[in-house]
Structure 1
Amino acid sequence: MTQSIVVQVGQCGNQVGCRFWDLALREHAHVNKKGLYDEALGSFFRNVDSRQSCGASVGGRIHQLKARAVLVDMEEGVVNQILQGPLREVFDSKQLLTDVSGSGNNWAVGYMTYGSAYREQIVEKLRKAAEDCDCLQCFFLIHSMGGGTGSGLGTRVLGLLEDEFPEVCRIVTSVYPSEEDDVVTSPYNSVLAMKELSEHADCVLPVENQSLVDMVNRIRCYSGKAGSAVRTDGSVISGHGGLSAAEKPFDAMNNIVANLLLHMTSSARFQGSLNMDLNEIPMNLVPFPRLHYLIPSLTPLYSLADVGMPPRRLDQMFSDAFSKEQQLIDADPRRSLYLACALLLRGDVAVSDLQRNIQRLRPTLPFVWWNQDGWKAGLCAVPPVGQTRSLLALANNTCLRGTFSRLRDRFMKLYRKKAHLHHYLHVEGLEQSTFSEAVSSLGSLIAEYQQLDSTKDQVVHNVPRLGIAT
């Protein structure tokens, strides 16, 4: 049995992570009617009860379980809310690390100041979480890019993970700010963090705030069409699941990201006819080390509205997965080049249905010439609660060069004027060269995508196969 650890850093990371644990417990309680500690639960939870029973599972909360998680935030507000909420028993207090002053939306404070001050404590908590695993498979890091703690301390933690556990896969979910973000320094924080993501992550799932806002609006349209037919066993119910505070506008956005993680980890938590190991995601979707950013898309979208609607036709669900409206980031993969693509399905989907739809979609999707069969698939038998099936697509596509180019442009707009730069240069350990190195790293990443994209129309005939010596 393999286990994974979730590392939540910053306000956004902890809110999304808390929602993930809430939804995961609901799923396991729905499937595991007897409340027995089994292999599925053991993948993300440890049982601190000497008995095999996991106790009561009212509302999906099983009180003898502890999440395999490390929670870090330099403002204590969100973590305190978690400790006062319905999930307080799920988190081990020894796995929490907070401060009171925050990072002031400054990557350098998070990375340099707090990263140095709390380095040993963070490493100790990561090691303790790892020691509670029999076979540690993956670290999931959840953080935001626009603020100070998420971007700065989050990427510092990522580097520590590589130093301490170099053989363990590191999958990062990064929430990127919108162009109209109210944090004026968010372009600085994002570009500085990008350099660390490119160097230390095995796989990054970029998620954009604006795309989440658009998805929430579409979900609300579905809710309006369905009237009052709201399911009582669905995956949303409470947009702020696990927190004690009143619901906030961004709770629904956090819920979408949590569902992304819930879906991606389903094969690690439940059985299926074609289970996909978490290590297989970077192994099969990342042909070049730095080009490890994957575009996620979820379907059916209305399933997040918790409304009673008929199941989406299977073939339509596959088509929707390659629609811009289902993506968690604003990009257009069909106009660029696919390097690889994974389809992770949950529910009543047969292998033959999967193969048929891949053959149907293949001619419409431009794949790089040397990886025309670059598909990876996973089939998990357990669907989301209240649904018959769902699909998560992860696409490695050169269209991300446009997303990253826009981010670089916003960075340069500030940097040319040296706007707000003094706030960073006053932080001990930071040199101005750090900024030029970060934007240079991002420029190199964009250039790599552009170079690959230039081969889009390349057709190679009669490529000799590799000869195997006997």
Structure 2
Amino acid sequence: MTQSVVIQVGQCGNQIGCRFWDLALREHAAVNKKGIYDEALSSFFRNVDTRTDGDGADICKGKICSLKARALLIDMEEGVVNEILQGPLRDVFDSKQLITDVSGSGNNWAVGHKMYGSQYRESIVERLRRTAEHCDCLQCFFIIHSMGGGTGSGLGTFVLKVLEDEFPEVYRFVTSVYPSGEDDVITSPYNSVLAMKELNDHADCVLPIENESLFDIVSKINQMTNCGKLGSTVKPTSLVTSSVGGIKNTQEKPFDAMNNIVANLLLNLTSSARFEGSLNMDLNEISMNLVPFPQLHYLVSSLTPLYTLADVNVPSRRLKPSLHFVSWNQEGWKTGLCSVPPVGHSHSLLALANNTCVKPTFIELKERFMRLYKKKAHLHHYLHIDGMDQSCFSEALSSLSSLIEDYNQLDAANCGPPMDPPRLKIAM
């Protein structure tokens, strides 16, 4: 059985990571009722004998002594990490898995990438190596971060480059939350475009998540719930809609429901790596089958069900005729079947697609970047950081423009004139 390590960087990355570990524990508890440390648990958790120094080998003889997440928590502000350590998941992490500072990155990619990256590189490498040493067969690093802030975008992509240098044979999957056009961080277009170049160069697969789409989905669910349209069909135990511990309460934070969706996406993505199935999909098969061109590794994800009680059975073969494949790969379809559904559902479907639907997001991001860059607005905040100059911006812009052009060429070659698909549709 292979293992994976989750690296959560910045406020957004750690908030999503907190939801992921909570939901993963609930999912394993529902399956593993006898409390046996098995191969499924070993994918993301270590079994530590608390009678030792807390960092010893698994000597618990099958029974769970103390589970420790295979994770690294990084944030240049202490707030979110401190909340995690004071919450229900406090026993899942220890100080050897944390890297924090107090001042933050000031919504500045250069501070996170150049300044903190240089300052904390040795600590990051040391903790990554320690985490890797506790894996029998390390297959994948999952990075969770946002693109719009400073720590997530800057230090998050710095960690990505470190992973390529130190663990070149281990897959690097990145879950990146993209800011909306109404983002309140004025420099988010700069941060996002600078981070995009690093994702283009150093990631194996990227799962882009639009903040605006998450907000639209949650708003739609709330609207349907409040107007009574869904009525009793809202599933109270759903992994998507439930808060910490499976109990929905008034203290639930505004972004918890949005973060739950992303965490549930990661649970579905890794289910075949954690549980048995009639047709398991290994993580390396995702990159192998869905990334025909190295830089075009941005995968569009779709997940169902999100909130309904009725589990609608839609066989995958019914979707196939409606999809258009490139001329040289008309059978570009890979299926994985896992025997363990998410808690509260009889089944679930995650679809990953490598197609040009991500192009409008990148075009919009480039336009927002150019509105600032043409005026040289706020550039001085970046250029005073050591190792940062204006060529970093021009190279990042060129990298994004090249990516968009690659998608344009594929559109023109396979689908006639380029067409921008609608951003979001929710099936009712």
- How does the TM-score come out when normalised to structure 2? 0.91
Structure 1 residues 209-240: Cα deviation after superposition (integer angstroms, max 9, x where no partner): 10000110122245444446765643256435
| 1:175/1:135 CA distance change after superposition, 3 Å | same
Name the structure 2 match of 1:373. 331
Is residue 239 from structure 1 mapped to residue 248 from structure 2 by the alignment?
no
Please tell me whether the aligned partners of residues 241 and 260 of structure 2 are also in contact (alpha carbons under 8 angstroms).
no
CA displacement at 1:245 relative to structure 2: 11
Cα distance in 2 between the residues matched to 1:389 and 1:457: 33
Name the structure 2 match of 1:51. 60
Unaligned runs of 5+ in 2: 50-58, 417-428
What amino acid is the match of 1:77? G
Structure 1 residues 293-330: Cα deviation after superposition (integer angstroms, max 9, x where no partner): 00111111225xxxxx2222x12xxxxxxxxxxxxxxx
- Give % identity: 72
| 1:234/1:363 CA distance change after superposition, 3 Å | closer
What is the correspondence of 1:58-457 to structure 2 with a 5 Å cutoff? 64-224=66-226, 225-227=229-231, 233-236=237-240, 238-239=242-243, 246-303=251-308, 309-312=309-312, 314-315=313-314, 353-354=315-316, 357=317, 360-457=318-415
Cα distance in 2 between the residues matched to 1:245 and 1:118: 38
SS at match of 1:455: helix
Aligned residues: 404
Please tell me whether the aligned partners of residues 13 and 152 of structure 2 are also in contact (alpha carbons under 8 angstroms).
yes
CA displacement at 1:361 relative to structure 2: 2.9
Please tell me whether the aligned partners of residues 240 and 251 of structure 1 are also in contact (alpha carbons under 8 angstroms).
no
Structure 1 residues 341-388: Cα deviation after superposition (integer angstroms, max 9, x where no partner): xxxxxxxxxxxx44xx2xx33332221101110011110010011101
Please tell me whether the aligned partners of residues 174 and 205 of structure 2 are also in contact (alpha carbons under 8 angstroms).
yes
What amino acid is the match of 2:279? L
Unaligned runs of 5+ in 1: 56-62, 304-308, 316-352, 459-470
Cα distance in 2 between the residues matched to 1:245 and 1:107: 35
Please tell me whether the aligned partners of residues 95 and 125 of structure 1 are also in contact (alpha carbons under 8 angstroms).
yes
What amino acid is the match of 1:47? N
Cα distance in 1 between the residues matched to 2:164 and 2:176: 17
What amino acid is the match of 1:419? A
- How does the TM-score come out when normalised to structure 1? 0.83
Please tell me whether the aligned partners of residues 276 and 377 of structure 1 are also in contact (alpha carbons under 8 angstroms).
yes
Please tell me whether the aligned partners of residues 143 and 154 of structure 1 are also in contact (alpha carbons under 8 angstroms).
yes
Cα distance in 2 between the residues matched to 1:247 and 1:114: 32
Please tell me whether the aligned partners of residues 108 and 382 of structure 2 are also in contact (alpha carbons under 8 angstroms).
yes
Cα distance in 2 between the residues matched to 1:159 and 1:389: 37
Cα distance in 1 between the residues matched to 2:289 and 2:240: 32
CA displacement at 1:51 relative to structure 2: 2.0
Cα distance in 2 between the residues matched to 1:103 and 1:248: 23
Cα distance in 2 between the residues matched to 1:263 and 1:116: 35
Please tell me whether the aligned partners of residues 81 and 245 of structure 1 are also in contact (alpha carbons under 8 angstroms).
no
Cα distance in 1 between the residues matched to 2:223 and 2:28: 29
Cα distance in 2 between the residues matched to 1:407 and 1:231: 36
SS at match of 1:379: coil
Moved over 6 A (4+): none
Cα distance in 1 between the residues matched to 2:376 and 2:305: 45
SS at match of 2:145: strand
CA displacement at 1:261 relative to structure 2: 0.5
Cα distance in 2 between the residues matched to 1:126 and 1:152: 18
Name the structure 1 match of 2:54. none
Structure 1 residues 117-160: Cα deviation after superposition (integer angstroms, max 9, x where no partner): 00000000111100000000000000000000000000000000
What amino acid is the match of 2:304? T
What amino acid is the match of 2:68? K
Bigger drift between 164-173 and 360-369 goes to 360-369
Alpha carbon RMSD of aligned pairs, Å? Answer: 1.9
CA displacement at 1:412 relative to structure 2: 0.4
Cα distance in 1 between the residues matched to 2:250 and 2:385: 34
Cα distance in 1 between the residues matched to 2:83 and 2:415: 53
SS at match of 2:413: coil
Is residue 21 from structure 1 mapped to residue 21 from structure 2 by the alignment?
yes
What amino acid is the match of 1:417? K
What amino acid is the match of 1:414? L
